[in-house]
Structure 1
Amino acid sequence: MSKGPFTISTPIYYVNAAPHLGTAYTTVGADTIARFKRMDGYDTLLMTGMDEHGQKVADTAEAKGMSPQEWCDSMEPAFREVWDLLDINYDEFIRTTQPRHARTVQKFWNDLYEKGWLYKGRYEGWYCVHEETYYAESDLEKNEDGVFVCPECHRPVQQSSGEENWFFKMSAFQDQLLAFYDEHPDYIQPVTRRNEVVNFVKSGLKDLSISRSTFDWGVPLPFDEGHVAYVWADALLCYFTGCGYADPAREGEFEARWPMNYHFVGKDIVRFHCVIWPAMLMAAGYPITQKVFGHGFLLTKGEKMSKSKGNGVMPKDLVRVFGVDAYRYYFMSDVQFGHDGNISMERMVQVYNADLANTWGNLVSRVFNMTGKYFDGVVPAAPASAAENPLAKIAADLYRTYNEAMNAVDFTAAAAAVQKLASAANHYIEDAAPWNLAKDPARADELAAVIYNALEACRIIALFFAPFMPNTSAETWRRLGLGDVNAVTDIEGEAAWGKLPAGNPVEKGDPLFPRLNLDDIDLNMD
């Protein structure tokens, strides 16, 4: 029986370039949570997609000698290929150029227009095309030439010449937003992001321009043909589209799924999701997404990774070296989600060898090999003494610890909880010394108990590692003669000790994680 709906999103990503490590970081995080929730019995939906409208996209397309639509169409395979490479099991891929999304945008803003939340005026101020954000002059910085630049990307900004826009009365929601933050202290995570948003709103909200009339690459507003939706007034509504809003073919789904459980975003777009978006929802009369998690940036030598700085590495480069599961494991376990994290090739190799090659992979290899050597490659029947062992005690608490960590979006703690069992299993084998037990026929039951316990620990470790490393967990279960671990829908029940059937064939197989030598890797992350 389902525990109910669970819906989570990444942002929809700009199509000006293929996904990079930062983009993938958000997406792997959301996928890891979604995989766990599916395994925990929730009717889970993960959505992602592409943000295709706005001046930045139109300018990029022109520079490529293509129409905006041609450029966007050419980028879809780049995104889908990277998500397939990283085993992202998404349910909805939203493109803002899709007709279903245009219906969402037009219905939503037409409703707000009819409710009196919009008015026509002229925008006087500054606009950053790259960040697609409006700024007051007091928010801007100046470069060495004395030119106003964006405080985020440090590119020159454009001054509006009094363009006629439609405005959303966002300022009317300042007190309501502050009251909401106070009543829902866990809405914005981590707490540092919450403090930033609260201080921003307290400093005073202005009405928001939600249309543009100087170009036509966007969703036309139904109440004014000369205006298209401002890109954020368009993009934020992708979450409605993914849940079936205004879609007659998905009747009742939106009502069942809204409000969503989580938005996963980079910290640079938290304000859009925690100020503009909830104000829009308040105006429309819809409940607000339960939580927004703004993670930190990936850094190399203290700098944010980006192509423009020449320090960007693409996911496929690292997958080629480490494999997809180790890639996923490193970014989820070693880079604390929510904080900026310095990454390096040296650290990746260190984590890979310590956690995966020497601990988890080594455990599987030695236990499966001993099963072949001492029990002809089948799971031995577990004597009564097998139920009383230190591994069973650790496993008994694993679901609780892991579940709490995942619900707190603490991937590092969740992975550490599983590694605790893997490390204990390696120590258990050393202490029990099955190679000595095998020399004494009188200790056959003791040997069977040790091997069974070690195999059962491997089964449970693979179960909890599946959201992080779906392929190697599936391979471990296959070698144990079990079904598809990624199809589990009751992870708590499956984690009960003693569910590994005696007599199952056990296949030795190749090492899951062969050791790596840093000197043999020709890939520079500096």
Structure 2
Amino acid sequence: MSGVFMNLEQEQGAHKPSNNRYITTPIYYVNAKPHLGTLYTTLLADVFKRWYQIQGDQTFLLTGTDEHGQKVAEAAEKAGMSPQAFVDQLVPAFSSAWDHYHIGYDHFIRTTDPAHMRAVQGWLQRLIDSGDVYKDTYVGWYDQSQEAFLTEKDMEFRSGEEVPYSLLSGKQAIKVSEESYFFRLSKYQERLLAWYQSHPDFVVPHERLQEVISFVSSGLKDLSISRRTLTWGVPFPGDEHHVTYVWADALLNYVTGVGYDETGCSATCQQWWPADIQLMAKDILRFHAVYWPAFLMASGLPLPKTLLVHGWIKVDGQKMSKSIGNVVDPVQLAEAYGVDAVRYYLTRYLPITQDATFSTGDLETRVTTDLVNDLSNLVHRTLVLAQKQSLTKLSGPYAWTEAEQQLKVDIQQSIGAACKEMERLYLHQAYAEVWRAVARVNSYMHEQAPWQVLKTDEARFATIIAAVCHSLALIGAVVWPVMPASMERLFGALGVPFVPGRDMRSWICNGAWDLSFVLTPTAPLFTRLNQTKEQTMEEKKEAVPTTADATANQISIDEFVKVEIHTGTIVSVSDIPNSEKIYQMQVDLGALGIRTICAGVKKHYSVDELTGRRAIFVTNLQPRKLLGVMSHGMMLMATDADGVPTIVAPADGVPNGTRLK
């Protein structure tokens, strides 16, 4: 190993400032347009970048395109174009899609960039000089679709067939025999295992690391890193008959993108490398968790802090695939539902820990429940109430009561829990905690009923509005990484300066309620989707009751007035053991007190979505025991066009316990 390599390895990122945060996405293969999976990875990277920004850290986000390899060469030939012209026409689809989604990348790298290609050649030459790369002959199986050489662990022979199938793609492998340059991967087996052992957070989720350890423990063979039968790639240094194996070329982008050049890791490179988070889907984990760290060890470069690995996004239960025809176009999705709505849904409801199912139906439901009902209505209601009272400016000192102090504590607990989940890199769980805070503010709003207070106590009314505004400002800061455009509108409406890059760490953690506000009414942050759904003729037919049926269903006015229907607020929600459908709710019915009422809405509403919601209840039904829980009433629901239960809520200003007549 050369002296340059050894020194850099010993320093292990010593030159990198502690507040420099470097995040990467994979570079995406240009054989197809961006799809929901590539958007998801890129979006997560952008959310992490923005999260670090609101903590005052310096950030660098790298994304780009992988443009070399056999598949690209074949596609270009089929299109009657040169490979370079072919990739040049495809790359803008990626950069424009990321711009459309407000992805704040700092550099968009292309593996055809001359600087990158020179850096790859310089890197390979140093590995040749150190003895970590040598020439030999490769004989074995190759997965053309993945551009990967296969080991015994990567393939299976099926009954009666002599050609194996790749476990990487499910496609048949091809037999190759050619002269090749090899990287001494086997030399680094024990060092890799020692690294995994000493750095348990190297791969998140942790179970993915166990898969890597199992693979490496079973034995590593040296890796072919050149192709003689291909011309479209980085020319191998010193041998005009070879080009660099696409993965050896592609992986180096993570350092060339921040200044690694033909001489090694420059001063700029050392300011950013090693990466803090490298994001990817699970199907390319091996390349990043085995080959990439071995390359870095051989080069004397520090290893990245964490590889964050998410599952596949499935549509109709299947992984997205062009051949299946279930690929979702990100730009069309944004045009239909809005950029921030899609950003929120993917971040909050697609867990990184497992494969996730995407459906536009669920997206529509979450937009309505979370963004329209929970957040947008809360903001709009607050601003409209303030406007009606000509309340435009709020400033301290504030006369907080016990109710506001408790609200602050509850909000801070939820935000604190969200911060801990962010440290674990579990975005979906972090924003579930944030929405607990949103629900708590809604609950406070209902409890304090400022629409009633304004009639008798203007000072108290202003205090309530100020408490809601403080809560919204804090929530807005934490949600900004996910929905930047919408939250900047929120800050504009609150009259609170918001500067991305300013250190908000202490404010987020301590939540000092001493802000001043200049309130400006604004259009709702989110509105209900205008859904145009195709229906079959069967669905369009209305069941018109016969005269006899209609008469049979009629009741007298005397019978109707016996039914007592009241407004109420759901104070708390809990699961009922062994029930997949029913929640147990505590409902504040005003003068009627707090009652236990059960509702079979578990498949359609989460605990957070119900807590703090207002609804309408039948209150004089005979008590009924459901799975051991006595229910003292019934929540009235409507159903939408898809048959999904929807809560019917009273208008603002109608107090709990009001009887409907």
Q: Deviations over 1:364-418 (max 9, x none)?
A: 1101111111234333655322694332213334553232211211112211222
| Aligned with 1:462 (options 476, 481, 504) | 476
| Aligned residue type for 2:524 | P
| Aligned residue type for 2:469 | L
Q: Does 1:513 align with 2:529?
A: no
Q: Deviations over 1:258-302 (max 9, x none)?
A: 211111011000000000011111111111111111110001232
| Aligned with 2:196 (options 181, 189, 199) | 181
> Residue 23 of structure 2 contacts residue 60 of structure 2 at CA under 8 Å; is this kept in 1?
yes
- Residue 402 of structure 1 corresponds to 418
Matches within 5 A, 1:273-284: 273-284=288-299
CA distance 1:455–1:123, change in 2 (3 Å): same
Q: Normalising by structure 1, report the TM-score.
A: 0.93
> Residue 154 of structure 2 contacts residue 168 of structure 2 at CA under 8 Å; is this kept in 1?
no
| Aligned with 2:226 (options 196, 211, 218) | 211
Instruction: Return the alpha-carbon distance in structure 1 between the equivalents of residues 113 and 446 of structure 2.
Output: 59
| Aligned with 1:437 (options 453, 459, 468) | 453
> Residue 415 of structure 2 contacts residue 434 of structure 2 at CA under 8 Å; is this kept in 1?
no
- Residue 346 of structure 1 corresponds to 361
Q: Greater CA deviation, 507-516 or 196-205?
A: 507-516
| Aligned residue type for 2:430 | A
> Residue 264 of structure 1 contacts residue 293 of structure 1 at CA under 8 Å; is this kept in 2?
yes
CA distance 1:250–1:481, change in 2 (3 Å): farther
Q: Greater CA deviation, 325-334 or 58-67?
A: 58-67
| Aligned with 2:64 (options 42, 49, 52) | 49
Gaps of 5+ in 2: 1-16, 536-661
- Residue 286 of structure 1 corresponds to 301
| Aligned residue type for 1:264 | L
2:197 is paired with a residue whose SS is: helix
| Aligned residue type for 2:486 | T
2:240 is paired with a residue whose SS is: strand
> Residue 321 of structure 1 contacts residue 521 of structure 1 at CA under 8 Å; is this kept in 2?
no
- Residue 483 of structure 1 corresponds to 497
Q: Does 1:149 align with 2:165?
A: yes
| Aligned with 1:101 (options 116, 126, 135) | 116
> Residue 197 of structure 1 contacts residue 274 of structure 1 at CA under 8 Å; is this kept in 2?
yes
CA distance 1:448–1:69, change in 2 (3 Å): same
Instruction: Return the alpha-carbon distance in structure 2 between the equivalents of residues 305 and 377 of structure 1.
Output: 50
CA distance 1:90–1:138, change in 2 (3 Å): closer
> Residue 375 of structure 2 contacts residue 438 of structure 2 at CA under 8 Å; is this kept in 1?
yes
> Residue 123 of structure 2 contacts residue 262 of structure 2 at CA under 8 Å; is this kept in 1?
no
- Residue 243 of structure 2 corresponds to 228
Q: Greater CA deviation, 145-154 or 208-217?
A: 145-154
Q: Deviations over 1:117-137 (max 9, x none)?
A: 111111101111211111135
| Aligned with 1:68 (options 80, 83, 95) | 83
Residue 494 (structure 1) shift? 5.8
- Residue 269 of structure 1 corresponds to 284
| Aligned residue type for 1:508 | P
CA distance 1:360–1:230, change in 2 (3 Å): same
- CA RMSD, aligned part only? 2.2
1:354 is paired with a residue whose SS is: helix
Q: Deviations over 1:502-523 (max 9, x none)?
A: 4x2x22221111123655489x
- Residue 134 of structure 1 corresponds to 149
> Residue 305 of structure 1 contacts residue 311 of structure 1 at CA under 8 Å; is this kept in 2?
yes
1:124 is paired with a residue whose SS is: strand
- Residue 452 of structure 1 corresponds to 466
- Residue 437 of structure 2 corresponds to 421
Residue 148 (structure 1) shift? 3.1
- Select the structure that is richer in helix: 1
> Residue 221 of structure 1 contacts residue 228 of structure 1 at CA under 8 Å; is this kept in 2?
yes
Q: Deviations over 1:290-324 (max 9, x none)?
A: 11111100012321012211111111122122211
Residue 487 (structure 1) shift? 4.6
Instruction: Return the alpha-carbon distance in structure 1 between the equivalents of residues 503 and 65 of structure 2.
Output: 30
Instruction: Return the alpha-carbon distance in structure 1 between the equivalents of residues 293 and 398 of structure 2.
Output: 58
Residue 239 (structure 1) shift? 0.5
- Residue 625 of structure 2 corresponds to none
> Residue 382 of structure 1 contacts residue 448 of structure 1 at CA under 8 Å; is this kept in 2?
no
> Residue 104 of structure 1 contacts residue 241 of structure 1 at CA under 8 Å; is this kept in 2?
yes
Residue 156 (structure 1) shift? 3.0
2:181 is paired with a residue whose SS is: strand
| Aligned residue type for 2:168 | E
CA distance 1:249–1:508, change in 2 (3 Å): farther
Matches within 5 A, 1:330-341: 330-341=345-356
CA distance 1:138–1:202, change in 2 (3 Å): closer
> Residue 142 of structure 1 contacts residue 149 of structure 1 at CA under 8 Å; is this kept in 2?
yes
Q: Does 1:305 align with 2:313?
A: no
How many pairs are equivalent?
Answer: 516
Residue 38 (structure 1) shift? 1.2
Instruction: Return the alpha-carbon distance in structure 1 between the equivalents of residues 423 and 109 of structure 2.
Output: 26
Residue 473 (structure 1) shift? 0.3
CA distance 1:430–1:350, change in 2 (3 Å): same
Residue 346 (structure 1) shift? 1.8
Q: Greater CA deviation, 276-285 or 467-476?
A: 276-285
Instruction: Return the alpha-carbon distance in structure 1 between the equivalents of residues 265 and 413 of structure 2.
Output: 40
Q: Greater CA deviation, 344-353 or 369-378?
A: 369-378
- Residue 174 of structure 2 corresponds to 158
| Aligned residue type for 1:112 | L
Q: Greater CA deviation, 90-99 or 403-412?
A: 403-412
| Aligned residue type for 1:59 | E
Q: Deviations over 1:18-52 (max 9, x none)?
A: 11000111000111011101111111111000001
Instruction: Return the alpha-carbon distance in structure 2 between the equivalents of residues 475 and 431 of structure 1.
Output: 27
Q: Flag the structure with more relative contact order, 1 or 2, with Cα contacts below 8 A and sequence separation at least 6.
A: 1
CA distance 1:13–1:144, change in 2 (3 Å): farther
Q: Deviations over 1:131-183 (max 9, x none)?
A: 111113563245799343322222332211x2110001101111111111111
- Residue 11 of structure 1 corresponds to 26
- Residue 562 of structure 2 corresponds to none
> Residue 150 of structure 1 contacts residue 157 of structure 1 at CA under 8 Å; is this kept in 2?
yes
Instruction: Return the alpha-carbon distance in structure 2 between the equivalents of residues 275 and 23 of structure 1.
Output: 22
| Aligned residue type for 1:478 | G
Residue 485 (structure 1) shift? 4.8
| Aligned residue type for 2:503 | T
Q: Normalising by structure 2, report the TM-score.
A: 0.75
Residue 338 (structure 1) shift? 2.6
Instruction: Return the alpha-carbon distance in structure 1 between the equivalents of residues 144 and 54 of structure 2.
Output: 42
> Residue 329 of structure 1 contacts residue 468 of structure 1 at CA under 8 Å; is this kept in 2?
yes
| Aligned residue type for 2:345 | Y
Moved over 4 A (4+): 142-145, 247-251, 517-522
Q: Does 1:389 align with 2:405?
A: yes
Identity rate of aligned residues, in percent?
39
Residue 498 (structure 1) shift? 2.2
2:21 is paired with a residue whose SS is: strand
- Residue 542 of structure 2 corresponds to none
Gaps of 5+ in 1: none
1:313 is paired with a residue whose SS is: coil
